[in-house]
Amino acid sequence: MNIERPDTSLGNTPTEDHKMGTTLTQEELEDRVDTLLETAPSDELYKQWSTQIATLPLKDQVRTLEDLHQRRRDALASVLPENVPITRGVPDEFVQLLKETLRNARELGRGDNGYVLADPDNHNMAYKFLLRPPIGQQNSLVEEASMQARIREIALQYADARVGVPRLDYFSTDPRTSFIAMERLDAVSVRDVIEGRAALPEGTNIDTAFDGLKRFLKDLNEAHGLYHLDVRAGNIMLPRNPSANNNLPLVYLIDMGMAKTKREVRSVMVIEDGTLTPKIDRVSDCGSVDIVRKRLKNNSES
């Protein structure tokens, strides 16, 4: 059974095309209030908004509800550049359907703080679940989804680097089942290749792929102030069928669970050309790429 994406679109709502006029009848105003409440994103917000407008005149109820809808759209847009749909109140039937569908699902990968399952009915979909509590440092689910959306958006702007980041479909912060639903990649993990669980895909040019990844990460760090901070063999994937089509990725970067902005990353002062300069107190993303590349090349040559 396929899991259909819940109707959690952040796109147009009835509020965007409606302009308050002076000729609306009492009945039309009441209908408008009902429509705006029915399109509240969750049962919790429906209750909050209903209470908030309860004592207001009808026209003010409409204006207030329209403003609440707009504020929510603006707030989410500022967090998620691609307007990834967010589900806060997941319907019970969806939770049950997800559990039943994934009960015998194949595990695609597991890390320190989460694991990824394949949707058995939709070969283009995968679900990432975070461990509770996490074993190590980890972004919240919302932070990880936000970072993945931002980094994917930037990767699409650097087409010549040919670096891919999985597309997000939606995510849920419902306490009963928190997950990120995303694109399932037709690719193999570099870690699996190094450790002998998978073969290096035929036609892979290691240097071309890793040079592109290094250029992308350098720009991600320096031009955009974003750091992945967990660039390792398990978080780099290679397409099973490398293509000569210049629009398709030669390498994928996954797992934004530790990604941070420059402001959030610790820095230290170092002397450079006689001047004190702040430097990131971490192994650089680019340096990590070189380490993984060397391990992969040594493995493929042995």
* Amino acid, single-letter form, for residue 69: H
Give yes or no: residues 280 and 207 share one domain. Answer: yes
Query: Does some domain include residue 24?
Result: yes
Last residue of a domain, one of 35, 62, 78: 78
Give yes or no: residues 179 and 198 share one domain. Answer: no
Give yes or no: residues 111 and 215 share one domain. Answer: no
pLDDT at 4: 38
The dihedral through the CA atoms of 56, 62, 63, 64 has a sign that is: positive
* Cβ(148)–Cβ(167) below 8 Å: no
* Cβ(203)–Cβ(240) below 8 Å: no
Query: Does some domain include residue 138?
Result: yes
Last residue of a domain, one of 61, 78, 95: 78
Q: What is the mean pLDDT of residues 96-113?
A: 83
Give yes or no: residues 192 and 296 share one domain. Answer: yes
Give yes or no: residues 110 and 70 share one domain. Answer: no
Give yes or no: residues 178 and 222 share one domain. Answer: no
Give yes or no: residues 136 and 227 share one domain. Answer: no
| Half-sphere exposure for 218 (CA within 13 Å, toward CB) | 11
Cα distance between residue 218 and residue 204, in whole Å: 22
Query: Does some domain include residue 256?
Result: yes
pLDDT at 19: 44
Query: Does some domain include residue 5?
Result: no
Counted domains in the chain: 3
Give yes or no: residues 45 and 122 share one domain. Answer: no
Indicate if the pLDDT at residue 49 is higher than 60: yes
Query: Does some domain include residue 3?
Result: no
Give yes or no: residues 297 and 194 share one domain. Answer: yes
Q: Three-state DSSP class for 219?
A: helix
pTM (global) more than 0.75: no
* Cβ(218)–Cβ(193) below 8 Å: no
* Cβ(287)–Cβ(298) below 8 Å: no
Give yes or no: residues 96 and 132 share one domain. Answer: yes
Q: What is the pLDDT of residues 158-199, one digit of tens each?
A: 989 999 999 998 888 877 778 899 999 999 999 999 999 999
Give yes or no: residues 62 and 99 share one domain. Answer: no
Q: Percent of the chain at pLDDT above 90?
A: 43
Cα distance between residue 196 and residue 233, in whole Å: 13
Q: What is the DSSP letter of 264?
A: G
Last residue of a domain, one of 27, 43, 78: 78
Domain that holds residue 92: 86-157+168-183
Domain of 196: which CATH number?
1.10.510.10
pLDDT confidence tier of residue 233, bands split at 50, 70 and 90:
very high
Indicate if the pLDDT at residue 201 is higher than 60: yes
Query: Does some domain include residue 93?
Result: yes
To the nearest whole number, what is the mean pLDDT of the chain?
81
Q: Three-state DSSP class for 87?
A: strand
pLDDT at 125: 92
Give yes or no: residues 175 and 115 share one domain. Answer: yes
pLDDT at 280: 53
pLDDT at 112: 74
Q: Going by C-beta distance under 8 Å and a sequence separation of 6 or more, which residues neighbour residue 96?
A: none
Cis ω on the peptide bond leading into residue 133 (within 30° of 0)? yes
Domain of 123: which CATH number?
3.30.200
* Cβ(182)–Cβ(128) below 8 Å: yes
Q: What is the mean pLDDT of residues 61-78?
A: 75
Beta-carbon count within 10 A of 292 CB: 20
